[in-house]
Amino acid sequence: MKNKYLLACGILASGFFHQAALADFQQGLQDTLTTAFNNTSDIPGVAVAVATPDQGVVFTGVGIGNTETGEVVNINQRFRLASVSKAYTGALIMKLQEAGYLNVDDKLSDHLYISGLPNADTITLRQLLDHSAGVYDHINGSNDFWSIALDPYKVWTSSEIVQYPIDYGSTHQPGTAYSYSNTGTYILGMVIETVTGLTLADAFDQWLIQPLSLTDTFLDDWSTPSNTITDLAANSRAYEFHKTGIGAAGAVVATPSDAAVLAREVYGARYISAASVTEMTTPSANNSSYGLSTRLWPASTHRYQHVGHTGSLSGYNAVVKYIPEFDVSIMVSANGYAKKSSNWYSLVNDVLYYVGDWYANNTAPTCPAPAVDEVTIDNDGAMVNGSWVTNTKGSKHYGNSYLSDNDSQKGSLDVAYAFTGLAEGVWEVLEYHPEAKHGSTSSPVMINTSGASYAASINHAGNGSQWNSLGEYTVDSAGQLDVTLSNTNTSGEVLADAIRVRFKDCL
């Protein structure tokens, strides 16, 4: 997280700078989305909302938000969240656990007995949450669901849905493997109804949506082609089947802004406890990339460690991601599928990386700012070894003078700049010199801390009369950093002028 110390100080020091930084963030987000969108095909429109700790919710969109009316993407449009709904269901289960209604290690049969369901007496709620219960998936399995479901007026009952895993058997013994199951999450919805005594839609509303003050979110158990959803980002498949057929596994409808807020509240441990978040985001025994109703993306493959969920249903793509490091959540919604799925994932990652990089470079350090965050040593404060020539001509050097080796005595001259009492952290080293017509293009520099030595070089034939970075280096508790310039193996004039160190970041 380099450069963030000084930039954060600028934001704190100037309200005008703060406003400009926020405007820059939104414009950069829009530019990133537009560029990625133009590299895809077949997606009518994409909306992005970012819930932040310092800027509220930032929204941007591109393309057509309603293919039936031609309306462009806007902040008021709601999208089907598809399997992102599973994160909602998981969060509600954790909330009910905290309230004492259930425990995720309870057996399913402790709350709901489904006669004929394979392993009905041994399946646990945890196994339903992490998809290790072995429940047959009626949405993606080979069965007659879709031949029936594509009548959009067909309202499904829970007994009809659970008949599929009863008829088709278990995919594996509970707890022994990972097998993604929409039906397993649907059954969790049945558990929620049982323990709360509410319909699933009402339980979502009373336990999840209202407490978070989400005004544009609901679980859809009623829409049809003749009873449509206000402000839906519609496509030709929006009402292709009645969402009672998927329930807790994929029936949530929300604006991207609402969805981003919910993710930040849930995974940021404001809606549920930190212990519950840890339980949701700990890799499960049978899939290191999945917790409890939560997908897990490591920093090793996605730059920033983050959690959330993905979804795809009825022509809608959805991804929600929460980055714990910055307490920022991102919701990306689309009302169509990309011709190449890889283009969709590239778009999502471009947005993720933009947001992560912005916060990496604009987040204040967690350690206290040092009392002294910049120190400059001119040549008259350095330790000089050898017959350097002092030059005071001109005004392009730093301070009163600079030193020159006069392109002679190669290998016998050096100047050491010793910085002491520095705060522990990452410090940038910069050098200043007047430009020399016949200067050395690679004057050697050694940078030493109490723990290591590093080699760098200065181009004395160019980059004159300005501060040039020699890199960033870690200073430990000893507070020592030394910079030594020499004329060993150089060709051309070597100059010794000023060296500056500047605090950049905490360790």
pLDDT of residue 345: 95
pLDDT of residue 149: 96
The packing angle between helices 256-267 and 274-281, to 10°, is 100
Q: Which residue has the higher pLDDT, 450 or 253?
A: 253
d(CA 283, CA 291): 5
User: Reading across the β-sheet that carries 45-51, which strands appear in turn?
Assistant: 71-72, 57-66, 45-51, 328-334, 316-323, 306-313, 295-297
Identify the residue whose tokens are 């289960």.
Answer: 93
Say whether pLDDT at 94 is over 60.
yes
pLDDT of residue 336: 97
Per-residue tokens: 53: 């700790």
Say whether pLDDT at 425 is over 60.
yes
Q: What is the dihedral of CA 472, 474, 477, 482, to 10 degrees?
A: -60
d(CA 53, CA 460): 45
Say whether pLDDT at 423 is over 60.
yes
Please state which of the ranges 178-182, 256-260, 392-396, 404-408 shows the lowest mean pLDDT: 392-396
Using one digit for the tens of pLDDT, what is the confidence trace for 29-81?
Answer: 999 999 999 999 889 999 999 999 989 999 999 999 999 999 999 999 999 99
Q: Which residues of 376-395 are buried (b: 16+ CB within 10 A; e: fewer)?
A: bbbbeebeeeeebeebeeee
Those residues whose C-beta lies under 8 Å from the C-beta of residue 284, and which sit 6 or more positions away, are 130, 131, 132, 178, 290, 291, 292
What is the total residue count of the chain? 507
Domains of the chain: 4-362 (3.40.710.10), 374-505 (2.60.120.260)
Largest CA distance in the chain: 96
User: Reading across the β-sheet that carries 443-449, which strands appear in turn?
Assistant: 383-385, 414-419, 481-486, 443-449, 453-458
d(CA 267, CA 278): 9
DSSP string, 172-206: S-TTSS----HHHHHHHHHHHHHHH-S-HHHHHII
Those residues whose C-beta lies under 8 Å from the C-beta of residue 301, and which sit 6 or more positions away, are none
pLDDT of residue 217: 98
d(CA 178, CA 470): 50
Average pLDDT over residues 442-454: 92
Say whether pLDDT at 490 is over 80.
yes
Per-residue tokens: 363: 């987040």
Instruction: Evaluate whether 483 touches 500 at the Cβ level (below 8 Å).
Output: no
Angle at 206 between CA 204 and CA 207, to 5 degrees: 65
- Radius of gyration for the alpha carbons in the chain, expressed in angstroms and rounded: 30
Do the bridges between strand 306-313 and strand 316-323 make them parallel or antiparallel, or are there none, so unpaired? Answer: antiparallel
d(CA 329, CA 356): 10
Checking phi first, is residue 465 left (phi over 0); if not, alpha (psi -120 to 50) or beta?
A: left
pTM value? Answer: 0.72
pLDDT of residue 14: 32
Tell me the average pLDDT of the chain: 92
pLDDT of residue 6: 27
pLDDT of residue 19: 54
d(CA 364, CA 360): 9
Per-residue tokens: 225: 């082609």
Say whether pLDDT at 8 is over 50.
no
The packing angle between helices 341-362 and 15-38, to 10°, is 170
Identify the residue whose tokens are 């009873």.
Answer: 227
Identify the residue whose tokens are 């462009």.
Answer: 72
Those residues whose C-beta lies under 8 Å from the C-beta of residue 480, and which sit 6 or more positions away, are 418, 419, 420, 422, 449, 450
Per-residue tokens: 122: 């041994």
Instruction: Evaluate whether 324 touches 307 at the Cβ level (below 8 Å).
Output: yes
pLDDT of residue 247: 98
